[in-house]
Structure 1
Amino acid sequence: MEKTLEKSQNVSLLMTELKQDNEKMQGVMKKIQDISTKSNILALNSGIEAARAGEAGKGFAVVATEIKKFAEESLKASRESETLIKSIQTKANEIIAMRTVDIAFDTIDKIDRNLFERNCDVQAWATFDAIKDCLLHPSPESKKVAQAFMENIYKIYEVYFDLFVVDLSGEIIVAAQNQSQVGRNMNERDWFQETVKHNDVYVTDMYHSSVVGGYTMGYSSPVHNDAGEVIGVLTTRFNWEFIYDIIDRVKIDEKSQLYVINKEGYVIASKDRGGILKKDLSHLKAVNHIMTGKDRRGYTTENNQIYAYCLTEGYNAYKGKGWSVIVSESIV
């Protein structure tokens, strides 16, 4: 998959260079057209002067006629070449667009696979005895064991801000890192209510958390006793900065841009790291196609820009959050 993406990106860069060379060729053909036009005017003026010269200007008139024919043929050829150049540029833009769509697809696919792993993490850890014991038999000793277990996970995986164990009353009883959160009650939080209510993993959208001090996603899994009853919740806070490990590897032109947007059309990640949760792209036709369900994948041309887009498909048990990747490429 990674080799395919790299090849796709390199082709896009080559097509961009081809398009730039094509634009230079258009400039050359314009100069040739100007020369042909001037030659035609010169031939016309020469023919007029030759006619005025009478018998003495007949030889010059023949030359003027030949120059005129040459100028007309040259002008015709340059116009045909210009039409061909425009056709090549249009096809180059179409190839760039299709390749850019591939980049959008590969990027959202990599993000989905990464977040699928986070989905698996929280489910697996919720089955460990250290987590169950601190909920079934809450004591300083059982909580200490759970805290040590979670701190070890935090150090090994490196991609989390924190992990918390929450009892059925909504109280945080163990934290991997931020011990000041222990004792806080989460029973009014959507993620807690949804996890307990549906007895299933609940994933938040990306948001900024004042608790962990950064952009994050919460993954929450019910914890069960041996009878399969819910006894609490294990919840993690993914460090969103690690998504940029994927985005920063995407090779696009310096003038191009890549955005990850949520289902409302707001930017939640971008190549330049700007406008997070502030920039709204819902005005773009490309985004409108996604939000209205017209297309899951494709491209639009707007304001001399190609906007390639791809809606998440999720990965295995992780269904995705309705996000999309938008990649813009200049066609000027």
Structure 2
Amino acid sequence: MPERVQKIAGAVAELTKEKLGSVSRVAAATKMLALNAKIEAARAGEAGRGFGVVAQEVSSVASTVQDLSAQLDAELAPLVAELEQLGEQLVWHVRGTRLSDLALHVIDLIDRNLYERSCDVRWWATDSAVVEACAEPTPETTAYASERLATILGSYTVYLDLWIADRHGRVIASGRPEAYPGVLGADVSGEPWFRDAIATSDGTEFAVVDVATNQRLRGATVATYSTAVRKAGREDGEVIGALGIFFDFAPQAHGIVTSMDLTPEDAARTRVMLVDHRLTVIAASDGAGLLTERIDLRRDGGRERGVFQRPGGAMVGYALTLGYETYAGLGWYGVIEQRPPASA
């Protein structure tokens, strides 16, 4: 619809210019004919005097028409230009609003997904097998905890692995020891997910670190959520260990940024992205720039949602996370960048 309005405005401008030009040319031709008639009347002498008067009137009418044409052109020109501008502004507004809406949809999808991860880690940290392994880390309790983690992974396929660390930061159980043999016994005491988990004030809290690659998980890109394991699984219990869960971020996020409802033509010129609080690309529909590219959002006045145009004509819509339920979000943005159509 907005593109049609813009086309109609352009057509009106072109038609107005064409018709005013036609009127002006007719007036000029009429004046020329009147001039020729006056010349011929003069040659005819007394017999052509009456015809000369008619020729003079025709010339006067032609001049009046030409003047009116010029005035009409002068008065219509700014109105037609304003109509064209309004058409362009309407197209900008509608396209920009759609891109911003899509960006909000993208970030909402990932927030809903990550909300579940925050629930998972707090729930599983109270599992009796997890609690017992941290309270009494014997070969039997840790082996059973690993079995329990493996069972969870069998149902929750979005995770690469789940780790239990004792209070000193040594991994005592994992869900996939055969797939990731370097995990059991690893010292993770210096890793942010462990430190932040131990620092939580009670069982309602969780920790999350920036999306990053994890070398113990074969360099996979993960979103890591963690929380403290507490004595007897109580919310206010003493911290006796930590649970870390490693969300297989790359394929899950790629599925979201490539799921937008776009026509094939629009999809070919559109890049859908997720960027973190540092404005680093963490997911992109074209797979480019992951964890290396930073996006300039031009958030005028710190706006949480907006649209702007880059040099070259690409339009960018963005939206800040709103969070979901009890999940406040991580300061991420959904970003949609769309190049102008080839015919534009």
Q: TM-score range by the shorter chain?
A: 0.7 to 0.9
* Residues 1:258 and 2:272 are matched in the alignment: yes
The verdict on how the C-alpha distance between 1:330 and 1:73 changes in structure 2, with shifts beyond 3 A counting, is: farther
Partner of 2:106: 107
Range 18-27 or range 266-275, more displaced = 18-27
**CA 1:231–1:256 in 2, change beyond 3 Å: closer, same or farther?**
same
Q: Kindly indicate whether residue 35 of structure 2 is the aligned counterpart of residue 35 of structure 1.
A: no
Alignment of 1:239-318 (within 5 A): 239-240=248-249, 241-252=251-262, 253-254=266-267, 255-282=269-296, 284-286=297-299, 289=301, 294-303=302-311, 304-318=313-327
Shift of 1:235: 0.5
- The 5-angstrom pairing of residues 86-125 of structure 1 reads 86-125=85-124
Matches of 2:5 and 2:68 in 1, distance apart?
25
| Cα RMSD after superposing both structures | 3.1
Q: State the 1:39 CA deviation.
A: 2.4
1:21 is the counterpart of 2:4: yes
Letter in 1 for 2:195: Q
Contact 2:20–2:69 (Cα < 8 Å) also in 1: yes
Q: Scaled by the length of structure 2, what TM-score is found?
A: 0.77
Q: Is the 8 A contact 1:36 1:74 kept in 2?
A: no
TM superposition shift of 1:71: 5.9
How far apart, CA to CA, are the structure 2 residues paired with 1:113 and 1:191? 21
Q: Deviations over 1:254-307 (max 9, x none)?
A: 33333221111111112322211222113x313x64xxxx32233344544443
TM-score (norm 1): 0.80
Q: Tell me if 1:211 matches 2:216.
A: yes
Q: Distance in 2 between matches of 1:151 and 1:64?
A: 94
* Contact 1:307 1:326 (8 Å CA) reproduced: yes
After superposing on structure 2, the runs of 4+ consecutive aligned residues of structure 1 that deviate more than 6 Å are none
Q: Please list, as runs of the form range in 1=range in 2, the aligned pairs for 1:85-234 lying within 5 A after superposition.
A: 85-177=84-176, 178-199=180-201, 200-212=205-217, 213-226=219-232, 228-234=237-243
The whole-number CA distance in structure 2 between the counterparts of 1:31 and 1:90 is 19
Separation in 2, partners of 1:278, 1:50: 75
Larger CA deviation: 310-319 vs 75-84:
75-84
- How far did 1:101 drift? 2.7
Amino acid at match of 1:150: L
1:89-126 deviations in Å (ceiling 9; x for gaps): 31342233334333322322222121010011011111
Q: Residues 276 and 333 of structure 2 are in contact (CA less than 8 Å); yes or no, is this contact kept in structure 1? A: yes
> Does 2:330 match 1:321?
yes
Q: 1:70 and 1:257, CA in 2 relative to 1: closer, same or farther beyond 3 A?
A: farther
Distance 1:203 1:295 in 2: 25
Contact preservation (8 Å) 1:39, 1:67: no
After TM superposition, the structure 1 stretch with the greater mean CA deviation from structure 2, 32-41 or 143-152, is 32-41
How far apart, CA to CA, are the structure 1 residues paired with 2:13 and 2:305?
38
Alignment of 1:60-75 (within 5 A): 68=66, 75=73
- Distance in 1 between residues matched to 2:5 and 2:159, nearest whole Å: 48
In structure 2, do the counterparts of structure 1 residues 24 and 74 end up closer, same or farther at CA, with 3 Å as the change threshold? farther
Q: Distance in 2 between matches of 1:167 and 1:214?
A: 24
Counterpart residue type for residue 262 of structure 1: D
- Supply the AA of the counterpart residue of 1:270: A
- Deviation, structure 1 residue 329: 4.5
Query: Structure 1 unaligned runs (5+)?
Result: 1-17
> What is the percentage of aligned positions where both structures have the same residue?
25
In the alignment, the residues of structure 1 paired with residue 155 and residue 240 of structure 2 have an alpha-carbon distance, to the nearest angstrom, of 26
Report the CA distance between 1:210 and its aligned residue.
Answer: 2.5
Can you list the C-alpha shifts for 1:49-108, whole angstroms capped at 9, x where unaligned? 324413469498589669858965885667644532431331342233334333322322
The answer for unaligned runs of 5 or more in structure 2 is 41-51
Q: For residues 13 and 319 of structure 2, what CA distance do their matches in structure 1 show?
A: 39
The offset of 1:185, in angstroms, is: 0.6
2:228 partner amino acid: P
- List per-residue Cα deviations over 1:152-210 (Å, max 9, x = no partner): 21121110111111112211111211233111111111221121133442101111223
